Chain A
Amino acid sequence: MAVTAVEVVYRGIFQKSLSRNICRTIVLAARKEGKIGTAFGRYGDSPERNGIPAKYFAIVADDPTELEETLAAYEPKEVAVTIVVDDTLCKGVESWAWYGLQPINELTVEGGTVLVTSIQPEEDLVKDMHVKDVPYNLSIIKGAKSFSGLWVYKDDHTDVRILGALAKVCPNLVGLEAYVDTIAEQSDDELKAHSARRAYDRVSVSPVEPGQGNPEEPFSFDKPGWTKMGEAIVIPGIEVGGGFRGGEGGYQPVRNDVFKKFSTRTMRPVINFETCTKCTLCWLQCPDSCFDVTPEGLYDSDMESCCGCGVCEDVCPVPDCVTMVNEEVFDDNSSQHDHWKRDRDGYMKWLDEMIVVAKSEKEVGAGRSHGFREWGEYQKQIEMTGVAGDD
């Protein structure tokens, strides 16, 4: 193919610098092979919000005319490689109201690759990704997701490892040596080129067959036209809501049904309803009004609207009553309170398992890393654990 496009699907702000680095380096490396390209963030994603799925693109062509042909459509309609820098995005992305849930592999061409940084096993990721009717490949670069904030970049080599892996899974885009040369020009750190080469050697590639994956139909919406839309830029407000699950007692707000926000989530709160003191703080301090109030005064987080910020865990005064757990381990958005009411023992056992997952991830340094926590933190982390995947 004379023109090759790749996309980086990333977490808004937390991975903005990472995805820009990846796409810029692709295009600069392509120049070394005499090709031409362009790199751009999807304008519609700006202004970016922390955690909300966003996209960056790199397009490489053999000559400027071919590049122009592709650029006639601002956003590529298909890509050779979908680079996913946070594996929880594999469940699908909803960037705006009315976008619906877009499968992570939606733009990936037949025979193309979804390249994910993850410590999950292949089968778990395949299970998350929506089925496609054409075959494609799943490639994994072993490593925890790399998040940093707006001002301070965590230079843990995730960008160069992805580029090394990309050379392997999509050699007709840019070859490994061009990446290595470009990386060497950009940084004095010789280890970075080394990291790229290691990723090239180690990246896994396995086929995903048509029909494999999450069979659910992702939610979608049909947008009305101008004759059907309300005039004067007026839309009805949301109803105020009422009792918990429509019954007497408690309270459940009505929620925006065309923007659910859960694809922003990388961790979700799990709640111990038995140690909860009903202090109200998780509910009161939740910026997304996620908590339904049960008739007995407990708080059940609505998993369609929770974006996983973690404020509830931070404000909860009871140890392990609200625990943020990696989103990867969940299969659906069902109610924890329903689960607990239905099967208390089962729920408590499951809860214990979840808390173990959360604690063990923290121990291996794969726990929460949503942006900046303290001056010098990233340097310390890299000193402690080495660069990502430097195993």
Chain B
Amino acid sequence: MTLTSTLPMIRGVHNSPLEEYFTSGHRTCQGCESALVMKLMVKASGPRTIVLGSTGCMYVANTTYYSTPWVVPWMHTQLGSAGSAAVGTAAGLKALMNKNKIKDEPINIISFCGDGGGADMGLSAISAALTHMAYNHLILMYDNESYANTDIQVSGSSPWGANSTFSPPGKLHRIMNQRWKKNMAPMLAVGHPGVKYIATACASYAVDFMNKIRKGLKYSGPAFIHSYDPCPKGWDYDPMYSHELGMLAVEAGIWVQYEIEEGKLVLNGPSRMIAQGRRQRKPVVEFLKRQGRFAHFVDEDVDYYQSRIDEMWEKWWLPGVIPLFNEAGEPKG
């Protein structure tokens, strides 16, 4: 399978494909942004797609045996196996195509995992998958910032201080999760220089999101997208605001939208305007105060959170992306 899809860029919402390849009847929460991610992902990739789904909300809540919301072929894979599932599927198809056992044609392979499956357990398999340039596939990590399926436990991608069933605020410790969120996309980009497409995305920006899926599928070899998914259950907000919360995170500079296309980094949308100084970042408290998971925060927590976001924009070598400094402690370059 040497061919990849050439799906045109979608110019504006009115050009979105009508067809749904992930349809109704999944058992996700009201207002589940990750379900929207699934929908937009295959809306963009179209019918010649195989989806591999690792364990997590988008497995457990989505696909209730003996029924399915999937129109395109779909297969479960284990929690840490998003990378291996992509490689195995691509390798199987490639072998069969090379040996003329099946028709040689482009087939989109998308393998998804949550932040638990991607940033924690499956990191080594994803890293390995990104070194096999012979196989065309896209790994999408939908990041709802916790092990949401199992009842909201802290993951390596959970934000500092967030309430979770493994990091509840208590009488002695207000902040149980002292870890800062892993910076996945840059880690993978820097560590896997052969990968032609790595991006961050958020389904609140639907057209941008779908085009990133299409770009990820266009390039030969593996690609990776880190999607930021507000989670009404775990973040604790009214489900109708999933869309707003995603935008708010971008506007506050907490989540940064960009693509790394053949090694060239381009910031998108509000993140680009923030980086260019054409747009003020909203205070992070506007994002934090709308979520029950941060309801135990006091002023000093908000200040600390703000300071970390400020640092990311003001001190990092690549603002919002790469936290490297020169010997004098100044941002590099």
Contacts and interface: CB of A to CB of B under 8 A. Distances in A.
Interface residues on A, range: 35 or more
Nearest to A151: B292
A285 B239 contact: no
Interface residues of B, number: 64
A256 B25 contact: yes
Nearest to A369: B238
A241 B70 contact: no
B152 A150 contact: yes
B155 interface: no
B26 A288 contact: yes
A137 B175 CA distance: 48
Interface string B45-85: 00100000000000011001111111111100000000000
A47 B67 CA distance: 18
Contacts of B150: 47
A261 B30 CA distance: 10
B292 A311 contact: no
Interface in A44-78: 46-52
B68 A13 contact: no
B295 A235 contact: no
B291 interface: yes
A280 B72 CA distance: 23
Nearest to A308: B30
Contacts of A152: 236, 292, 295
A4 interface: no
Contacts of B70: 237-238
B116 to A, nearest CB: 13
A298 B121 CA distance: 44
Interface in B131-164: 149-152, 163
A368 interface: yes
Interface stretch (A84-92, A192-200, A344-352, A370-378): A370-378
A238 B23 contact: yes
Given A49-B27, A373-B290, A253 B20 contact: yes
Nearest to A13: B233
Interface in A209-260: 223-224, 229, 233, 235, 237-241, 250-251, 253-260
A89 B145 CA distance: 31
B236 A371 contact: yes
A279 interface: yes
B13 interface: yes
Contacts of B291: 372
Contacts of B72: 237
B237 interface: yes
Given A152-B292, A254-B23, A314-B240, 11 more contacts: A49-B30, A51-B30, A97-B67, A235-B65, A256-B23, A259-B25, A285-B206, A287-B28, A289-B23, A370-B240, A375-B297
27 contacts: A50-B32, A52-B27, A150-B236, A151-B293, A235-B65, A235-B67, A235-B68, A240-B47, A241-B20, A253-B20, A253-B71, A259-B25, A259-B64, A260-B25, A284-B206, A285-B206, A287-B242, A288-B28, A290-B24, A310-B31, A311-B239, A369-B238, A370-B239, A371-B237, A371-B292, A372-B291, A372-B295
